[in-house]
Structure formats: C-alpha cells, structure tokens
Amino acid sequence: MLDAALLHRTVAPPPAALQAPALIECQGLRHTYAARSGPDVVAIEQVDLSIAAGELVCLLGPSGCGKTTLLNMVAGFLPPTAGRLRVGGQDVRGPSPDRGVVFQDYSLFPWLTVQGNVEFGLRMAGVPAGARAATAQHHLTLVGLEAAASRYPFELSGGMKQRVAIARALATDPSVLLMDEPFAALDAMTRASLQAQLLDIQARTRKTVLFVTHNIGEAIVLGSRILVLSARPGRIVEDIRLDGLARPRRRSSPEFNRLYERLAAAIGAEAGE
Ligand SMILES: Nc1ncnc2c1ncn2[C@@H]1O[C@H](COP(=O)(O)OP(=O)(O)OP(=O)(O)O)[C@@H](O)[C@H]1O
Ligand SMILES: [Mg+2]
C-alpha cells in the first residue's frame, strides 16, 4: 500500500541512521554550456544528491531540463562547472569502465559481432581472449542473447540491440549503470519486456542504476526511487522513495495511479503546462 509515509518527499535528507554510504554524491553541482552566440546555457544548477549502492534511480523531467547533462557528468563525459561530483568516494575526472553507459540510440559498433561488441571494453582493459569470451558469454546469457553471439548489429531488432548494449555495459563489471532513455525508441511490448529484464538483471547483480526517462509509467515500474528535475536549469524538486511499493507494479493499481498523477502534475508544472 502506497501511503503518505512512502511518498514522503526527501528533498530534506532522511535521518543519518537511514542513510547507506553514498556511491554517487553530487554537491552544489552545476553545468554551463558556452553558447556560440548569446548567453551561456546553465543546464543544471545546485544539484545535491546522494545515491547509495544498489538503488535504481529514475530521473524524470521536462525536455531540455538537463537530465542527459547530469547523466553525462556522472559518466565523466562533461566536467562540473561548479560543485563536486564523486563516485565511490573519488572525484569524477573522466569516463571509466567502472561506469557503464547505455544510450538511447543503438550505439553498437557495426563492424563487430555481438560477441565482439560485448568484449570491446574488456579488450581495451587488456583482458586475455579466453577470459573475454567467457565474460561476454556470461553477459549475453544474462540478457538472453547467447545464441546471437556471432551475428552483426544490422541483423538484430531494436530490442536485441539494446540488450547487447546492456550486456556490453555490464561486461566490465561497473559499479554504476547509466542509462539515457534506453528503451524510448522501442515499441510498447518490447519496452515492457526490456523493463522486466532490467529489473531481473538488477535484482541479480544489485547494480546501482541511474535511468533517465521521459515516461512516467516507466519510472514507476522501474524505480526504487524517482527524482524529478525542474525546468532548466535543472534542480531536484521531488525525491520519492518507492522501496516499499510491491513489484511487479500494476498500472491498474490505485497506488500506481496516484503516483502517476502526482508525477504528471510535478512535470506538467515544470514544463509550464
Ligand atoms: N552541447 C551543448 N551546447 C549548448 N547547449 C546545450 C548542449 N547540450 C545541451 N544543451 C542545452 O542544455 C539544456 C539541457 O540539455 P539536456 O540534453 O541535458 O536536456 P534533457 O533533459 O536531456 O532533454 P531531453 O529530455 O529532451 O533529452 C538544453 O537547454 C539544451 O539545449
Ligand atoms: Mg536527454
């Protein structure tokens, strides 16, 4: 039962006794893009955030509010303009195999087989061929694609490509999985199936996941926690913990619908609707 206590806003942090050690920590985080003409664009501002190991955090917000910017900062693709960003207690200074990324567009290497794509990060890390092959097979089995190892990306459906991208991101055993609208281009049935697979993989691996989505239903189905970002410059305006909301989360349930309405109102207000 989703009650007021479960839906408490935690913009003020929970008591120290309830806080697990943070894996991802943002303090006063800001990112400004230098504009070629006109004023610079402040994409995110004053983001304070603490994510513990094993959380599956969904980041929701209106288009252009800075979700991808925040994700790319955690990935190490963009530096903070101000503030502090740490993962595993270390300042983020660039990309790392410890942070696996899955993008919206199918970002597989077209010249490599499925197996070659999943082995790529391991090859870069100098892992010997035998161990690479075994690790790739393990992760392809995890996403149910062990039979497709020798195929090329052009031979795969969109859903299969994203499953390979997930296997590739997991192959280096990162502590954090960063996903930027990874299922947005998929049809509704494939999307639901990949959501279920992601939950299953997360339950088995206990990976920490930061998942960007526009889709409120997707955030409710997946999240152990949902963050809502304000319109640009993005700041966190809602921080809702859903650990107590039973899975699978049925779209027909009153709890689901109450939460949906609340998030729609928060995003609508931010989008100026
Ligand atoms: N390279 C860039 N140079 C200048 N401005 C940029 C750049 N990338 C993004 N922006 C701007 O920063 C703001 C945040 O962009 P971002 O891509 O993070 O938003 P988003 O929340 O991911 O949006 P969407 O939901 O549409 O993907 C937007 O106003 C965007 O126009
Ligand atoms: Mg984006």
Q: What is the pLDDT of residues 202-257, one digit of tens each?
A: 999 999 999 999 899 999 999 999 999 998 899 999 999 998 899 999 999 999 99
Give residue 45's pLDDT band: very low, low, confident or very high (50, 70, 90).
very high
207 CA → ligand 2 middle, Å: 22
8 A C-beta contact, residue 208 and residue 175 = yes
Ligand 1 atom with least separation from CA of 70? 18
pLDDT for res 106: 74
Residue 3 confidence (pLDDT): 44
Hey, which of 29, 65, 81, 235 would you mutate to test ligand 1's pocket, going by the most ligand atoms within 8 Å of its Cβ?
65
Structure tokens at 18: 């309830």
What is the structure's pLDDT at 107?
87
d(CA 53, CA 210): 11
Query: How far does residue 34's CA lie from ligand 1's centre (Å)?
Result: 12
Assign 20 a pLDDT band (cuts: 50, 70, 90).
Answer: low
Average pLDDT, the chain: 90
Ligand nearest 214 Cα, by number?
Answer: 1
- Whether the CB-CB separation of 132 and 158 falls below 8 Å is answered with no
Neighbouring residues of 189: CB distance < 8 A, sequence distance ≥ 6: none
**Which one is predicted more confidently, 269 or 251?**
251
Q: At what angle do helices 158-171 and 129-142 cross, to 10 degrees?
A: 130
Residue 43 and residue 232 in contact, taking contact as beta carbons nearer than 8 Å? yes
Distance between alpha carbon 217 and the CA centroid of its chain, in Å?
15
Residues paired with residue 118 on neighbouring β-strands, in sequence order: none
Quickly state the pLDDT bin for 271 (edges 50, 70, 90): low
Q: Answer yes or no: is the C-beta of 66 below 6 A from any ligand 1 atom.
A: yes
Cβ 23 vs Cβ 52: under 8 Å: yes
Fold of 21-98+176-270: Rossmann fold (3.40.50)
Residue 235 makes CB contacts below 8 A (sequence gap 6+) with 44, 45, 46, 47, 229
User: Residues spanned by CATH 3.40.50.300 within the chain?
Assistant: 21-98+176-270
Question: Ligand 1 within 6 A of 232 CB?
Answer: yes
273 pLDDT tier (thresholds 50, 70, 90):
low
Q: Which of 32, 41, 70, 105 is the best mutation target for the ligand 1 pocket, counting ligand atoms within 8 Å of the beta carbon and taking the most? A: 41
- Nearest CA owner, ligand 1 atom 11: 43
Contacts of 90 (CB under 8 A, 6+ apart): none
Please give the torsion angle defined by the CA atoms of residues 152, 156, 160 and 164, in that order, rounded to the nearest 10 degrees.
Answer: 10
Q: What is the CA radius of gyration of the chain?
A: 19
Q: Which two tokens stand for residue 84?
A: 């502090």
Mean pLDDT of 182-208: 93
Mutation test residue for ligand 1: of 68, 101, 228, 270, the one with most atoms within 8 Å of CB? 68
C-alpha 162 – ligand 1 centre gap (Å): 23
- Nearest residue to 178 via CA among 189, 170, 186: 170
Mean pLDDT of the 55-71 span? 95
Spatial neighbors of 24 by CB under 8 A, at least 6 apart, are 49, 50, 51, 74, 85, 86, 87, 176, 208, 210
User: What number of CA atoms fall less than 13 Å from residue 173's CA on the CB side?
Assistant: 5
pLDDT band, residue 19 (cuts 50/70/90) = low
Strands 176-180, 90-91: pairing is unpaired
> Over the stretch 109-137, which tens digit does the pLDDT of each residue have?
999 999 999 999 999 999 999 999 999 99
Is the beta carbon of 33 within 6 A of some atom in ligand 1?
A: yes
Instruction: Estimate to the nearest angstrom the gap between the alpha carbon of 258 and the chain centroid.
Output: 24
Confidence tier at 21 by pLDDT (50, 70, 90): confident
Confidence check: pLDDT of 268 > 90 = no
- Considering the chain, what percentage of its residues have pLDDT values greater than 90? 79
Tell me if 41 CB under 6 Å of ligand 1: yes
The end-to-end CA distance of the chain, in Å, is 30
CB of 63 shorter than 6 A to ligand 1 = yes
DSSP for 39-51? Answer: S-EEEEEEEEEEE
